[in-house]
Amino acid sequence: EAQVTQNPRYLITVTGKKLTVTCSQNMNHEYMSWYRQDPGLGLRQIYYSMNVEVTDKGDVPEGYKVSRKEKRNFPLILESPSPNQTSLYFCASSPGDRAGFTGELFFGEGSRLTVL
Amino acid sequence: AQTVTQSQPEMSVQEAETVTLSCTYDTSENNYYLFWYKQPPSRQMILVIRQEAYKQQNATENRFSVNFQKAAKSFSLKISDSQLGDTAMYFCAFLQGGNTGKLIFGQGTTLQVKP
């Protein structure tokens, strides 16, 4: 089954404790991206990767890091989480080297992160 | 910078009726794409419909259609014969030009379909 898989789906952690949210896609997509969803703000892009050689910041990259060592994986790293990073996080992928190449993003099921 | 605005935080419609969700955007670009995504209670984001700015014809997908007004920078979604399964949050999104792959989302509209 073609899918984008995120883990963990739910996580409660404490301020300053490093964590990684994994994202893996099995569709051989070039493009991958991370979004966070907050009430009243919609989805905001954190980082995106056009392919394994290109990664760039989105609108809200502060406090996050990403890694694209291989095509299928795009982990989101919070080196020192803070309460303002409490949010719902989505990973997405797309076959082209830009989302508009196919006009469709394939989303994971989301990861609910709470930072105390 | 491009912005996407959904001015209706919540809407409701009776089953089998028609409802229209509004979206406006701001851009100086001439070529771009617009999308509507659906997020049901399961949280999974699903693409509903896509519109290319260079196409004058409004996109349709079964019961879903858009009214794309390029000059007015308006992109509304019409849902005909509403079904209970249409209950969800709907996001309007704009695909920025260039080579960024940056999809800009609106704030979302929560739609409740009532039996």
* Nearest beta carbon to residue B105 from set A43, A94, A110: A43
* Angle in degrees, CA B5, B7, B10, rounded to 5: 125
CA A17 remoteness from chain centre: 18
Q: Give the B window 41-100 contacts with A, CB below 8 Å.
A: 42-47, 50, 52, 91, 95, 99-100
Name the residue of chain B whose CA is nearest to A107's CA: B45
Strands (E), B31-95: 33-39, 46-52, 60-61, 64-69, 74-79, 88-95
Rounded distance between C-alpha atoms, residue B36 and residue B52, angstroms? 12
pLDDT for residue B11: 97
Do the Cβ atoms of B45 and A92 come within 8 Å?
yes
Place of tokens 């073609």: A2
Q: Give the A window 24-43 contacts with B, CB below 8 Å.
A: 31, 33, 35, 40-43
A92 touches chain B (CB under 8 A): yes
Rounded distance between C-alpha atoms, residue B26 and residue B7, angstroms? 14
Do the Cβ atoms of A33 and B44 come within 8 Å?
no
Comparison of pLDDT for B95 and B7, the residue scoring more: B7
CB neighbour class for B101 (10 Å; exposed up to 12, middle 13-18, buried from 19): buried
Rounded distance between C-alpha atoms, residue B12 and residue B16, angstroms? 12
Rounded distance between C-alpha atoms, residue A60 and residue B53, angstroms? 27
Question: A94 to chain B: which residues are within 8 Å by CB?
Answer: 101
pLDDT for residue A34: 96
pLDDT for residue B83: 97
pLDDT for residue A105: 87
Q: Give the number of beta-carbon pairs within 8 Å between A and B.
A: 64
Q: What is the mean pLDDT of each run of 10 residues along chain A (116 residues)?
A: 93 96 95 93 91 89 96 97 97 71 79 97
pLDDT for residue A116: 96
pLDDT for residue A1: 85
Q: How far is B90 from chain A (nearest CA, A)?
A: 10
Site from A6, A68, A105 to mutate, B interface, most B CB atoms within 10 angstroms: A105
Q: How far is B108 from chain A (nearest CA, A)?
A: 6
Q: Note the pLDDT tens digit of each residue in B64-103.
A: 999 999 999 999 999 999 999 999 999 999 987 666 677 8
Q: Is B4 left (phi over 0), alpha (psi -120 to 50) or beta?
A: beta
pLDDT for residue B86: 97
Rounded distance between C-alpha atoms, residue B25 and residue B93, angstroms? 9
Rounded distance between C-alpha atoms, residue A71 and residue A91, angstroms? 14
pLDDT for residue B97: 63
The answer to whether B113 and B87 are in contact (CB under 8 A) is yes
Q: Note the pLDDT tens digit of each residue in B38-59.
A: 999 888 889 999 998 888 899 9
A1 touches chain B (CB under 8 A): no
* Nearest beta carbon to residue A105 from set B99, B100, B103: B103
